[in-house]
Structure 1
Amino acid sequence: MKLVTYIIRADELNIQMNESAGARLGWLADSYVVDAVFAQRWLEANRGISFPHSLPADILTLLTRGATELQMLKEVGRLLRNEDLPRLRVEGEPVAVLLSEVRLLAPVPMPTSVRDFYAFEQHVKTSRQRRGLEMIPEWYQIPVFYFSNHRSIVGPEAAVAKPSYTEWLDFELEVACVIGKKGKNIPADRALEYIAGFTIMNDWSARDMQRQEMKVGLGPAKGKDFATSLGPYLVTLDELEDRRTGHHWDLQMTAKVNGKPLSSGNMKDLYWSFPQMIERASLECELVPGDVIGSGTVGTGCILELGPEVHRWLQPGDVVELEIERLGVLSNRIVKSESSLLPK
């Protein structure tokens, strides 16, 4: 399934101060978004089908309840497969709404945590070479990550404010998994059981601030914590099984800025696999449903690696489109920040 968190565009003015309050759980069915709660209610009222309990209206509760909850949602989807979706209503509410009539938020609008790894060898090598640095042997010994800001998540088509403190704003083409099962000290050979699905991730980066911070030997911090985009869907593993070989998936990854192709890579090129990342992240540390684990940037997947001579740093008005085969397109527009430092 392609799981989504959405709001009706007509309701935007009423809930824009608190998007999550009006957000609902659904899934993509062709050109429609099907509401999980309304779909189940329709089946109960019109097909006499009973369920052990009601599905939740948000994705975090769905994941927290465990694999059986996701299976129940998939069963609801299967039972509706041959129904005429546009005609279905529950208490006057449509069960399915045209995709063009909703606004998708990040599939997990507020993750429980966000870890971002550094797992594509080409990106690490090339970025270091551009700075005149040799490859670090330790990179081949363990997969490493940092924690980002789980409260600065941005969804598809949403604006990303260019921080007032940077002139070197960059995108990063990444893929992320969302954890769907609680676990600690998870071995790599069992890690697939803990993945709820994959989504596209853009780890926005203020490179000048990041460079300054990293010289101190700690970070990144303000170079990264202002925004991370996720979306447009959370795609469950069964949808991708035909592209899996062992612990790798053959999915093409591309990036465009203002329609110009800049980046091209493949998810199968990960040096450190997602199961290895999960094994490392869960070492003496409990992972919980809703945790996000990013891959790090794919080779050629950012301006830092390509060089500003290939494309200048991002400016307000630029549109960045990240696309991963089967996972959709994650598009965001850069806007000028309206904030500034508080007066002393």
Structure 2
Amino acid sequence: MKLATYQNNTRDGQLMVVSRDLSRAVAVPQIAATLQQALDNWAQAEPQLQQVYAALNQGEAAGAGAVAFDAARCHSPLPRAYQWADGSAYLNHVELVRKARGAEVPESFYHDPLMYQGGSDAFLPPCSPIPLRDEAWGLDFEGEVAVVTGDVPLGADAAACAGHIRLLMLVNDVTLRNLIPNELAKGFGFFQSKPATAFSPVAVTPDELGDAWQDGKVHLPLLVDYNNAFYGKPNAGVEMQFSFPQLVAHVAKTRELVAGSIVGSGTVSNHDRSTGSCCLAEQRMIEIIDSGAAITPFMKVGDTVRIEMKDAAGVSIFGAIAQRVVKHG
């Protein structure tokens, strides 16, 4: 099943059921007005939404309200969320960053996930601009995958957490790289260096991925274009050190997760350099390792990024995050 949120005059938008080929969509206020409402009442809402989804894919009227799907009208599937926790499950990314600094990766990183708490009070729509106040702050994109959970009990293990994953989305985890060093030096983690994040136009249930959803990972390339040119296509499943159930369990170690919590994978990264990268920082680290200096600049006003994932037949699964950097203020 595929779900989206159209922007309207409310904070949380209007829930839409979207056809598998992303061609048609229908509002379902009789089931749930918003995606958060559906997640809060998933046991009752999910089978009803599946019925609408089946009718939409079969070309039936689905309440006579079906319209052409328009990604430009979408907000992030959850325009705001109770929780947004982002991991760093691709250790190649971590290893490159550490190697460029001349530092070893701590042994604990291989069995204890990295995680930070992001701002979740307001996300960016997937086709909206990225506002930037100062280019000196080092704006970067980060292509990721994320899951949306149902209610997860305190202390739930990975096996239990697998059953609480409701939806998957793509992510642009916008980062201000040049603000990170001073923040981390304080010993209290990211804050100003992590502005608003954007998620894909469409969220999908795991079954939509078919055989690509294995062991709690998405075994498909994440496609990134930067300024309308190829930038990366690393596979999101093959080198993911921690599965999504493991990442969710990491969050649940000391707290409950409420329905609508989002947990991210971190920047998708492969050891094979031919697959490219999903962020500028990784390419800069490779340049430092190879030649002693970073050459690739960070994003500037007018730059664009597109993040997408396609199935084996080349059909877009989530729609595309397509954003342009604009001057703010």
Q: What TM-score results when the alignment is normalised by the length of structure 2?
A: 0.87
Answer with 1 or 2: which has the greater Rg.
1
User: SS of the counterpart of 1:27?
Assistant: strand
Do structure 1's residue 103 and structure 2's residue 76 form an aligned pair? Answer: no
Distance (Å, rounded) in 1 between the aligned partners of 2:220 and 2:123: 24
Q: 2:50 aligns with which of 69, 74, 83?
A: 74
Contact 2:24 2:56 in 1 (8 A): no
Runs (4+) of structure 1 exceeding 6 A deviation are none
Find the counterpart in structure 2 of residue 253 from structure 1.
Answer: 222
Is 1:203 the equivalent of 2:194?
no
Please say if 1:295 is aligned against 2:286.
no
Letter in 1 for 2:27: D
**Other structure's SS at 1:335 match:** strand
The CA distance in 2 between the partners of 1:84 and 1:101, in whole Å, is: 21
**SS where residue 153 of structure 1 aligns?**
coil
Q: Secondary structure at the match of 2:183?
A: helix
* Counterpart for residue 35 of structure 1: 27
Q: 1:130 Cα shift? A: 1.7
Per-residue Cα deviation, 1:98-133 (whole angstroms, up to 9, x for no partner): 124860110011111100111101110011112222
Report the equivalent of 2:233. Answer: 264
Write 1 or 2 for the structure with the bigger share of strand: 1
Query: Against the structure 1 CA distance between its residues 246 and 32, is the aligned structure 2 distance closer, same or farther, given a 3 Å change threshold?
Result: same
The Cα shift of 1:77 comes to: 2.4
CA distance in 2 between counterparts of 1:261 and 1:80 reads: 33
Report if the CA contact (8 A) 1:110-1:153 is conserved. Answer: yes
Tell me the equivalent position of 1:311.
Answer: 296
Q: Could you list the runs of 5+ residues in structure 2 that have no partner in the other structure? A: 270-276, 288-293, 311-316
Give the whole-Å Cα distance in 2 for the aligned partners of 1:101 and 1:274: 26
RMSD (Å), alpha carbons: 2.0
Give the CA deviation at 1:152: 3.1
Question: Counterpart amino acid of 1:278?
Answer: V
For 1:285 and 1:101, locate their aligned partners in 2 and report how far apart those are by CA, in whole Å. Answer: 35
Alignment of structure 1 residues 135-174 onto 2, 5 Å: 135-164=105-134, 166-174=136-144
Alignment of 1:328 onto 2:298: no
Q: Give the superposition deviation at 1:227.
A: 1.3
- Are 1:283 and 2:260 matched, yes or no? no
| 1:176–1:294 contact (8 Å) kept in structure 2 | yes
The 3-state SS of whatever aligns with 1:190 is helix
1:341: which partner in 2? Answer: none
| 1:274 pairs with 2:244 | yes
**Quick check: 2:32–2:45 contact (8 Å CA) kept in 1?**
no
Q: CA deviation at 1:20?
A: 2.3
**Alignment-derived partner of residue 337 in structure 1:** 328
- Is contact 2:25-2:56 (8 Å) kept? no
Structure 2 counterparts to residues 110-259 of structure 1, below 5 A:
110-164=80-134, 166-224=136-194, 226-259=195-228
Aligned match of 2:2: 2
Is the deviation greater in 185-194 or in 110-119?
185-194
Aligned: 1:60 with 2:36: yes
Cα 1:241/1:106, change in 2 over 3 Å = same
SS in 2 for 1:267: coil
Q: Distance in 1 between matches of 2:59 and 2:279?
A: 44
Q: Distance in 2 between matches of 1:100 and 1:76?
A: 18
* Contact 1:166/1:209 (<8 A) preserved: no
User: What is the number of equivalent residue pairs in this alignment?
Assistant: 305
Structure 1 residue 34, shift from structure 2 partner: 1.4
Question: Residue 285 of structure 1 aligns to which amino acid in structure 2?
Answer: R
Please state how far the C-alpha of 1:79 moved relative to its aligned partner.
4.0
Supply the distance in 1 between the matched residues of 2:202 and 2:144 (Cα, whole angstroms). Answer: 14
Deviation of the 1:248 alpha carbon: 2.4
Q: 1:283 to 1:96 in 2, by over 3 A?
A: same
Q: Match of 2:233, as an amino acid?
A: S
Residues 304 and 238 of structure 1: CA distance in aligned 2, closer, same or farther (over 3 Å): same
Contact 1:67–1:180 (CA<8 Å) still a contact in 2? no
For 2:328 and 2:70, the matched residues in 1 are separated by: 28
Structure 1: segments with no counterpart, 5+ residues = 38-53, 90-94, 339-344
Distance 2:15 2:27 in 1: 6
C-alpha spacing 1:250/1:65, structure 2 compared with 1 (3 Å): same
Matched residue, 1:45 = none
**Identity %, equivalent residues:** 28
Cα distance change of structure 1 residues 182 and 190 upon mapping to structure 2, 3 Å threshold: closer
On the 8 A contact 2:138/2:177 being kept in 1, the answer is: yes
3-state SS in 1 of match to 2:18: strand
CA distance in 1, matches of 2:93, 2:280: 11
Alignment of 1:19-34 (within 5 A): 19-20=10-11, 23-29=13-19, 30=21, 31-34=23-26
Q: Is the 8 A contact 2:135 2:299 kept in 1?
A: no
**Contact 2:14–2:33 (CA under 8 A) maintained in structure 1:** yes
Deviation, structure 1 residue 80: 4.7
